[in-house]
Amino acid sequence: MQVEGQASQSFSAMFELRGNARKGSLSLTSPLGNRLAQVDWEDGHAQLTSAQETRSSESLDALLQDVTGAPIPVAALFSWLKGAQTTVPGWRVDLSAMEQGRLVAHRDEPAPPATLRIALTR
């Protein structure tokens, strides 16, 4: 994930995603295999646990925006990972390389612009 702006930010991690947009979990690990964070959610509650903190929110979308600095369309992400072209206002997704396990999503609005790149392994 790369967020552009006055102080551009970039974040790389391996992830394991389970469940669906209503109930699931996301585990993030560093490229060296260290656990960075765990996010668990179900209707009306989301929680992030890391070595530094635990955060809760009534919404997964709000929690991810708080953590990453950019809204991430989780419901659409599940569709995109299945190769389905789901439209999200402000986002453009490129699924042309899904056969090779890659997808790229660009957010143009609202500012700041962001790019989400995913490389899948099976």
How many residues in total does the chain contain?
A: 122
**pLDDT per residue as tens digits for the range 21-59:** 899 998 888 888 888 889 999 989 999 998 899 999 998
User: 7 pLDDT exceeds 70?
Assistant: no
Residue 5 lies in a domain: no
Quick one: angle between helices 74-81 and 60-68, nearest 10? Answer: 90
What's the pLDDT at 122?
65
**pLDDT per residue as tens digits for the range 75-109:** 899 999 999 999 999 999 999 999 999 999 999 98
Whether residue 35 is found in the same domain as residue 59? yes
Whether residue 61 is found in the same domain as residue 17? yes
What's the pLDDT at 90?
93
Count of structural domains within the chain: 2
What's the pLDDT at 6?
55
Q: Are 103 and 81 in contact (CB under 8 A)?
A: yes
Nearest alpha carbon to residue 105 among 85, 89, 119, 91: 91
Q: Which domain holds residue 57?
A: 13-69
Among residues 69, 90, 110, which one ends one of the domains? Answer: 69
Q: Confirm whether pTM is higher than 0.85.
A: no
User: 66 pLDDT exceeds 70?
Assistant: yes
What's the pLDDT at 11?
67
What's the pLDDT at 121?
80
The C-alpha atoms of residue 94 and residue 16 are separated, in whole angstroms, by 21
Whether residue 80 is found in the same domain as residue 117? yes
User: 9 pLDDT exceeds 70?
Assistant: no
